[in-house]
C-alpha cells in the first residue's frame, strides 16, 4: 500500500499536489474544477487590500523549443483584480463544500504592519488552513513597494513574517523570490520571523523575447513591453537548486518547503520531495494542459513509490538532500570514460562533432568493413564530461563507465594539486 497523504507546513493534505497562487486559482469556479480533478489543495490567487488592481492586455509571452513546445511562460499579470469581499466569500464556500481539501490564502500588502495584519485576519476568518505571504512577484507590484521589493530585503522578509505570525494562529508560508544572489538570506529571514514553511520559487524576472517586426518586447501592450515573471519547465533547475540549499543547510533546519517551479510530471514532484520538499505547487503545467494533468501525477507517483517500496511520502523525503554537497566535497579521483555501443549507433556523428569542436577531441572516426563509420573513444583524451552522451539521439547508445575504481576518495582540499596544500607544507 502507498499513501500519498502528507503534511506541508503543518497542514494535512490528501496528496502533495497543490495548485500555486496564479490564474488557475483566481476564483471558486476554477478551484472547484481542480478539486474535482483530484488536486489536494490550492493556494488562492494573491489577495490585496481594496481597491482591486487593474490588469493590462496582453499578459503572456512564451518561450518555445525548436519543435514549438512551450517550455516557459512570462507573465505580467498582477494579483487578484476581483474585490476582496468576493474572494473571501468564495473561499468560505469552498471550505464548507470541500472540507477534505486544502485552501491556503495568499496575501500581499504594502510594507505597513497594520496592512499585513488586517489582511491576514480577514483571510484567516474565511477559513483557510494557512496564509502564504507573496514576497516574490517581480513585476507591477514591486514598482509599488510590494512583491519582490519586499522579498529581496531580508529585514522586510523577517518583519512581514513576524507581523502575520502575531496576527493569526495559522501556519504561515513565506513565498520567496528567486531574484536574489543567495536564497539562504531570505530563507533564514523567514525562519527568524517564525515561518512554518517557505514556498519557492516565485517567478524569475525576465524579458521573454522581442518582436523583431515591431521591435517591441513581448508580451506587447499597445506598442510597448516590460519585464515579467518567468515560470514553467525551464525554471525547474533553478527551483531544484534553491530547494536543495534550504533543505540541507543547518541554519534553515526544520523549515518546511512547499516547492514550486516547472513541475509538470510525477517525476518532477518526486525530485523536489527527494531534495527535501514536503509537497509541491503547480501552475504552468495546469495552464498548458488543464487540471486533469494531476491524474498522471498521482498515478505516476504511486507507481514509483510501489516500485521502490516507499509506503509514504516521508519514506523518501530528503533522501537526495543527504547526498547534495558543496563542490569541494566531491571525489576528485572518480574517473569516467565514454563507451559507444556500435550496434545501437546510427552514425549521425553528433558525438564526434561536439567533442571535436567544443570539448577534448576524444572521439575518432574509423571506417567500417561495410563502408559505414565507426566512432571510437580515445580513453587517454576522454575526461568523462559526458557531453557526447547527452547529445546522442539514441537512448543508452553512449554510456559512461567508471575506471580506476580502486583509487581512494579525495576531495579538492585534500588533493595534491591544490596549492593550499603545498603552502601548508
Q: Catalytic annotation on 137?
A: yes
Helix and strand numbers, DSSP H then E, in the chain: 13, 20
DSSP codes of every residue in 349-366: -HHHHHHHHHS---EEEE
The whole-angstrom separation of Cα 247 and Cα 150 is: 23
Length of the chain: 425
- Which among 407, 406, 355 has a CA at the least distance from the CA of 382? 355
3-state secondary structure 54-91: CCCCCCEEEEECCCCCEEEEEECCCCCCCCHHHHHHHH
Beta bridge partners of 312: 3
The whole-angstrom separation of Cα 163 and Cα 172 is: 11
The whole-angstrom separation of Cα 9 and Cα 197 is: 5
The whole-angstrom separation of Cα 34 and Cα 403 is: 51
The whole-angstrom separation of Cα 339 and Cα 336 is: 10
DSSP codes of every residue in 350-419: HHHHHHHHHS---EEEEE-TTS-EEEEE-TTT-----HHHHH-SSTTTEEEEEE-TTSPP--GGG-TT-H
C-alpha cell, 62 = 512564451
- Which among 278, 314, 318, 257 has a CA at the least distance from the CA of 3? 314
User: Which residue carries 533564514 as its cell?
Assistant: 188
Query: Are the C-beta atoms of 387 and 359 separated by less than 8 Å?
Result: yes
Q: Output the CA torsion sign for 248, 252, 254, 257.
A: negative
Beta bridge partners of 250: none
| Residue 168 C-alpha from the chain's centroid | 28
Give the pairing of strands 41-47 and 102-107.
parallel
Q: How many CB atoms lie within 10 A of CB 95?
A: 16
Q: Which of these is catalytic: 137, 231, 345, 392?
A: 137
CA distances from 376 to 340, 388, 394 (A): 7, 12, 16
User: Which residue carries 507507481 as its cell?
Assistant: 303
Supply the residues annotated as catalytic. 137
Amino acid at each position: 500500500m502507498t499513501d500519498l497523504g502528507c503534511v506541508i507546513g503543518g497542514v494535512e493534505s490528501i496528496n502533495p499536489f497543490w495548485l500555486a497562487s496564479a490564474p488557475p486559482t483566481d476564483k471558486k469556479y476554477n478551484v472547484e474544477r481542480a478539486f474535482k480533478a483530484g488536486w489536494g489543495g490550492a493556494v488562492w490567487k494573491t489577495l490585496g487590500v481594496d481597491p482591486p488592481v487593474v490588469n493590462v492586455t496582453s499578459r503572456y509571452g512564451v518561450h518555445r523549443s525548436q519543435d514549438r513546445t512551450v517550455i516557459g511562460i512570462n507573465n505580467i499579470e498582477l494579483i487578484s483584480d476581483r474585490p476582496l469581499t468576493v474572494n473571501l466569500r468564495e473561499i468560505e464556500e469552498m471550505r464548507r463544500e470541500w472540507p477534505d481539501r486544502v485552501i491556503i490564502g495568499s496575501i500581499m500588502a504594502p510594507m505597513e504592519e497594520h496592512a499585513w495584519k488586517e489582511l491576514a485576519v480577514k483571510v484567516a476568518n474565511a477559513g483557510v488552513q494557512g496564509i502564504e505571504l507573496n514576497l516574490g512577484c517581480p513585476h507591477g507590484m514591486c514598482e509599488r513597494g510590494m512583491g519582490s521589493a519586499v522579498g529581496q530585503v531580508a529585514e522586510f522578509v523577517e518583519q512581514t513574517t513576524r507581523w502575520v505570525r502575531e496576527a493569526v494562529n495559522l501556519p504561515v508560508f513565506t513565498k520567496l523570490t528567486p531574484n536574489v544572489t543567495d536564497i539562504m538570506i531570505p530563507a533564514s529571514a523567514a525562519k527568524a520571523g517564525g515561518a512554518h514553511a517557505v514556498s519557492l520559487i516565485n517567478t524569475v524576472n525576465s524579458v521573454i523575447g522581442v518582436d523583431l517586426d515591431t521591435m517591441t518586447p513581448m508580451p506587447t501592450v499597445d506598442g510597448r513591453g516590460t519585464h515579467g515573471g518567468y515560470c514553467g519547465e525551464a525554471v525547474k533547475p533553478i527551483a531544484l537548486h534553491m530547494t536543495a540549499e534550504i533543505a540541507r543547510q543547518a541554519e534553515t533546519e526544520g523549515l518546511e518547503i512547499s516547492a514550486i517551479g516547472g513541475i509538470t510530471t510525477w517525476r518532477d514532484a518526486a525530485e523536489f520531495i527527494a531534495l527535501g520538499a514536503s509537497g509541491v505547487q503547480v501552475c504552468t503545467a495546469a495552464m498548458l494542459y488543464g487540471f486533469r494533468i494531476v491524474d498522471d501525477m498521482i498515478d505516476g507517483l504511486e507507481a514509483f513509490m510501489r516500485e521502490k517500496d516507499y509506503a509514504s511520502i516521508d519514506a523518501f523525503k530528503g533522501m537526495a538532500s543527504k547526498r547534495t554537497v558543496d563542490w569541494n566535497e566531491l571525489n576528485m579521483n572518480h574517473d569516467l570514460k565514454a563507451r559507444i555501443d556500435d550496434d545501437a549507433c546510427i552514425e549521425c556523428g553528433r558525438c564526434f562533432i561536439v567533442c571535436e569542436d567544443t570539448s577534448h577531441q576524444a572521439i575518432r572516426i574509423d571506417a567500417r568493413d561495410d563502408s559505414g563509420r565507426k566512432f571510437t573513444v580515445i580513453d587517454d583524451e576522454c575526461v568523462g564530461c559526458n557531453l557526447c552522451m547527452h547529445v546522442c539521439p539514441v537512448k543508452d547508445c553512449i554510456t559512461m563507465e567508471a575506471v580506476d575504481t580502486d583509487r581512494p576518495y579525495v576531495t579538492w582540499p585534500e588533493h595534491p594539486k591544490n596549492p593550499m596544500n603545498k603552502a601548508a607544507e
